[in-house]
Amino acid sequence: MQEEIYVLRIGHRIERDKRVTTHVGLVARAFGAKGIFITNAENEIKSKIDQVTRIWGGPFICELIDVDWKKFISNWKNENGIIIHLTMYGLPVEEKIDEIRLRKEKKLVVVGAEKVPNELYYLSDYNISITNQPHSEIAALALFLDRFYSGKELSLKFSNAKLKIVPMERGKKVIESRI
């Protein structure tokens, strides 16, 4: 999967969103994104995500950013990238995903925490809903990436993994690699 797709997590609330933001990062990695940028968050979140990448493989980058999300988005667009904002108010993913997949530009998928600023709806190239019901950024991101990659991310191989699971019907088998 060559597609350059990254995630931007905005609106993280210190302490309160620690677990959710970490899971947004873990889902981004596991479901085939190349990296995550997180605005104003604890170092612990980056440490946890980087630790998973070290053990289970990559490539995946995690960056905590302290620039304003608007500035980040505008830089992304200046570098010829596109913005896909996941929101329950957007157009249904099933109507737009083929068009998004065909776009050649690097993609930034934005997920919020609490209510996102209105401007984001206008700065985004796409406002995409995963159902028009309220749920979670973790679920929305997982489903978006799955539709984007048409399920291919489920068999993604990670490089430089120290541990690999051998899937089995019952029990657990993990092999350690000598890298």
Query: Least distance in Å: CB of 147 to ligand SAM?
Result: 12
Query: Least distance in Å: CB of 32 to ligand SAM?
Result: 18
Three-state secondary structure call for residue 41: coil
Task: For the segment 125-144, give every residue that binds ligand SAM (CB under 6 A).
Answer: 129-131, 133-137, 140
The contacts of residue 69 (CB under 8 Å, 6+ apart) are: 8, 10, 39, 110, 120
Q: 91 vs 96, 97, 177, CA distance in Å?
A: 7, 10, 44
CB nearer ligand SAM, residue 43 or residue 133: 133
Closest by CA to 23, choosing from 139, 175, 160, 109, is: 139
Contact between 111 and ligand SAM (CB under 6 A)? yes
Contact between 41 and ligand SAM (CB under 6 A)? no
CB nearer ligand SAM, residue 131 or residue 150: 131
Separation CA 102–CA 19 (nearest Å): 33
CB nearer ligand SAM, residue 53 or residue 87: 87
User: Of 24-32, 55-63, 82-90, 147-155, which part binds ligand SAM (CB under 6 A)?
Assistant: 82-90
CB nearer ligand SAM, residue 60 or residue 126: 126
Token pair in block for residue 55 = 């053990």
CB nearer ligand SAM, residue 82 or residue 113: 113
The backbone region for 36, taken as left when phi is positive above 0, alpha when psi lies in -120 to 50, beta otherwise, is beta
Contact between 123 and ligand SAM (CB under 6 A)? no
**Nearest 5°: CA angle at 24, between 153 and 150?**
20
Instruction: Note the residues at the interface with ligand SAM (CB under 6 A).
Output: 86-88, 111-116, 129-131, 133-137, 140
